[in-house]
């Protein structure tokens, strides 16, 4: 006999390994619930609630990390890190939902939703195309209808013919979605007049839709007026980098147009966002914001299945915070919405790879793309479609390799 360490990364790999050893198919769901130890971070639990959670997890073979003085009630509350398999966490949720104290039933509901796997789904867009979320990572190609975006290679200004050429090239190279924006949101950028933004977006959408009738078109805007104008021309997705903070009516516009809506986390405005990088707990704070933004969108009539979330790489986050966001994609995936990551050629990539200009940051961007594919992000927003497509193909070939 000899032993080696393996990590069964998903249910498919478990099934392949189990079939290989002759394990009965009926036991697969049993083993899948034990396949991986999960960690759930709970903030601000009253000390008695923290003690209950720890006791219940210990009784099921799991554990929970709490403040050292919880047992003596030396602190009023404690954050909690729960360690357990999906099955153990399910038992915990079952027990907590029967306890009417300290909002434990609400916590039980959160635990159940976080442990539930993201089920692949196909979402139809207004143009009639379908986006297969959860089966592979989709490529969103960037088309900037501006003169001042941070990467000069993406700028088209008000030249509709240039925007169309870029769209056709990206479609040929494998883009699944095209993202059009007419207002730069780089740090320190100012606002574009509303009429100018609407005019540029409308003209570009009209031209591209004529040539690419089934290409999903995303509109990068924070204005409901621009969103409505773009949707009238045939756009499919509204990509709001403010997460409904600048203009809540943008969600109503998406709902009325039966469009998808992407809500992103940020703080402040592009002019001052880099002065607002102080967080109590980065991942928790961003998750809480995204949950709230998604709830607002649903309340405004957007179908839950048509909401996408974006943790906002480079928006009100410093270098290390950007890296931590990417390191914890699973925290955002667990919220139950398709996850979009936009990191292409950004400043933190240059800091990590010691490349001062955006033009030099392609290799670093490709590394981010491959890691996001491994983390099962749903959409990656990029300037360079061909190169990123190949990086995704390689990463997904490794992810999809059969167990032999």
- Opening angle at CA 243, ends 238 and 249, nearest 5: 65
Catalytic annotation present for 346: yes
Q: d(Cα 353, Cα 64) in Å, to the nearest integer?
A: 38
Q: d(Cα 89, Cα 128) in Å, to the nearest integer?
A: 40
Q: Which of 166, 317, 333, 381 is catalytic?
A: 381
Burial degree of 378 (CB within 10 A; 0-12, 13-18, 19+) = buried
User: In whole angstroms, how large is the CA radius of gyration of the chain?
Assistant: 23
Joined together, the tokens standing for residue 99 give 């306890």
Element (H, E) at 262: strand 260-264
Q: Which of 35, 54, 267, 346 is catalytic?
A: 346
Q: d(Cα 375, Cα 233) in Å, to the nearest integer?
A: 35
Buried b (16+ CB within 10 A) or exposed e, 68-88: eebeeeeeebbebebebbbbb
Sheet with 237-240, side-by-side order of all strands: 307-310, 260-264, 237-240, 217-220, 177-181, 138-144, 379-382, 340-342
Enumerate the active-site residues. 346, 381
């Amino acid at each position: 006999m000899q032993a080696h360490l393996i990590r069964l990364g998903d249910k498919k790999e478990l099934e392949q390994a189990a079939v290989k050893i002759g394990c009965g198919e009926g036991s697969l769901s049993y083993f899948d619930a034990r396949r991986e130890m999960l960690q759930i971070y709970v903030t601000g639990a009253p000390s008695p609630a923290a003690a209950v959670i720890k006791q219940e997890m210990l009784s099921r073979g799991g554990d929970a990390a709490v403040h050292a003085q919880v047992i003596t009630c030396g602190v009023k509350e404690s954050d909690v890190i729960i360690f357990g398999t999906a099955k153990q966490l399910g038992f915990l949720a079952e027990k907590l939902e029967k306890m009417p104290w300290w909002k434990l039933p609400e916590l039980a509901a959160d635990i159940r939703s976080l442990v539930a796997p993201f089920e692949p789904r196909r979402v139809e867009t207004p143009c009639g195309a379908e986006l297969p979320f959860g089966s592979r990572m989709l490529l969103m190609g960037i088309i900037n209808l501006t003169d001042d975006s941070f990467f000069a290679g993406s700028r088209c200004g008000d030249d509709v013919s240039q925007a169309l050429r870029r769209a056709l090239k990206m479609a040929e190279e494998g883009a699944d979605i095209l993202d059009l924006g007419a207002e730069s949101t780089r740090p320190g950028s100012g606002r574009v007049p509303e009429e100018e933004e609407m005019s540029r977006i409308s003209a570009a959408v009209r031209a591209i839709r004529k040539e690419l009738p089934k290409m999903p078109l995303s509109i990068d805007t924070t204005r409901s007026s621009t969103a409505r104008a773009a949707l009238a021309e045939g756009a499919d997705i509204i990509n709001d980098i403010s997460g409904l903070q600048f203009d809540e009516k943008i969600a109503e516009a998406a709902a009325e147009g039966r469009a998808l809506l992407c809500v992103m986390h940020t703080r402040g405005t592009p002019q001052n966002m880099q002065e607002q990088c102080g967080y109590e707990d980065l991942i928790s704070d961003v998750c809480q914001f995204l949950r709230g933004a998604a709830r607002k969108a649903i309340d405004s009539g957007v179908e839950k299945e048509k909401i996408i979330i974006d943790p906002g790489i480079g928006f009100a986050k410093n270098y290390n915070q950007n890296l931590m966001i990417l390191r914890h994609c699973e925290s955002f995936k667990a919220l139950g919405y398709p996850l979009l990551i936009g990191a292409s050629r950004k400043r933190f990539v240059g800091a990590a790879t010691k490349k001062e200009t955006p033009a030099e940051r392609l290799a670093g961007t490709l590394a981010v793309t491959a890691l996001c594919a491994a983390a099962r992000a749903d959409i990656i927003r990029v300037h360079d479609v061909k190169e990123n497509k190949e990086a995704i193909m390689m990463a997904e070939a490794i992810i999809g390799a059969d167990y032999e």
